[in-house]
Amino acid sequence: MASADIEGNTLSDDQARQLVTNQLTLPPAQRHLQQGVKNVVEAMQAIAVSAHQPFTLTEQWIKEQNCLVLRDLELPENVVPGEYTTAQFTAGAFKSAPPQDVAYLVGRLVDGLNDVLRESVQRPGNSEAQRFFWSFFAAALGHLYITWIHPFGDGNGRTARLVEYALLAHSGVVPTISAGLLANHYYKTRQIYYGELVGASRRHDGVTGFIRYAAEGFVDMLREQIEQIRTLQRRIAWESYVYGVFEDENQVAMTDRRRRVALALPEDGWLTYKQIQALTPQLAQLYAAVGQRTCARDMDDLVSRGLVRKQKATFSSAVGIIDVFRAA
């Protein structure tokens, strides 16, 4: 979604999720937005599926990615998906490579990146840290130079980011779930991103500047993703613990209600009985049938089991106990 958004696609994250699960239907006037995201998704999925197979970057593969991102989109007459452009692109002070030089430049780029992969990433004996660095370096360079050369009539940015994604995904040291994080970084800082791409062609240290910008963003995004994973792992561990506490209970309706409360309570706030009964639509429906006294009994039971903390007549989740178990 980030890669498509950079190019002006306006689908929301929710719509993108619906698209991935084949639940999105848009009016005809917006179908091009749906198709644009679908193309990027399917291209990334194909890369992810083959991530554990040997990979060599080729001109043909790059052309195929451009075909994928432009498939079934309305394009200007002079744009042919997967074929090098015959016109030079100009945006402000930026000029792409002359059309007659495109094939030569892409060929040199492919050879250079494959040399990096062969000598630094795929060479036996190199440490994981070395392989990680050189994989990132090759991916960022591939992105930058595809953007500079601008070999196609359209879809160059999306194609460049697919090259970057593929080099990271096939590195053997970057999980595919993390290989697309750079696109998120570019999207979140897209004004800086545009400036770095253009400025890199003007400054004597332009390549170094772009690599530094990409590296700092990659580190930030990796840290953010690690924290998201830790939060998810903590939540899964808490759910497992709560279910375990109730595993020997026979009163199905009462057990289900109390378990729902334990899992729905927030850790960072204190709620009254009334607020607890309205935590979720399901709880509101359950408590409407049994009343507030039942809620009080439920909370007393959860406190006694160590699943809930009590402060006067307010309550919050005791999920923090999971951190003790994890540390041990």
The pLDDT value given to residue 4: 77
Please name each of the domains of the chain with its CATH number.
2-224 (1.10.3290.10), 246-327 (1.10.10.10)
CA 62 to chain centroid, in Å, comes to 22
Give the single-character DSSP code of 314.
Answer: E
Q: How many beta carbons lie within 10 A of that of residue 138, not counting itself? A: 24
The pLDDT value given to residue 327: 54
For residue range 16-68, list pLDDT tens digits in order: 888 888 888 888 888 888 888 899 999 999 999 998 888 899 999 999 999 99
For residue 37, which of 8, 63, 78 has the smallest C-alpha distance?
A: 8
List, for the chain, all residue ranges whose pLDDT scores fall below the cut of 70: 92-93, 325-328
Q: Count of alpha carbons within 13 Å of 223, Cβ hemisphere only? A: 6
The Cα–Cα gap between 293 and 286 comes to 13
The pLDDT value given to residue 325: 63
For residue 43, which of 182, 163, 136 has the smallest C-alpha distance?
A: 163
The Cα–Cα gap between 178 and 220 comes to 12
H/E run at residue 89: none
The Cα–Cα gap between 103 and 124 comes to 32
The Cα–Cα gap between 113 and 295 comes to 64
For the chain, list the strands marked E by DSSP.
Answer: 90-91, 94-95, 308-311, 314-317
Query: CA of 54: how far to CAs of 47, 48, 51, 112, 129, in Å?
Result: 12, 13, 8, 18, 20
The pLDDT value given to residue 11: 81
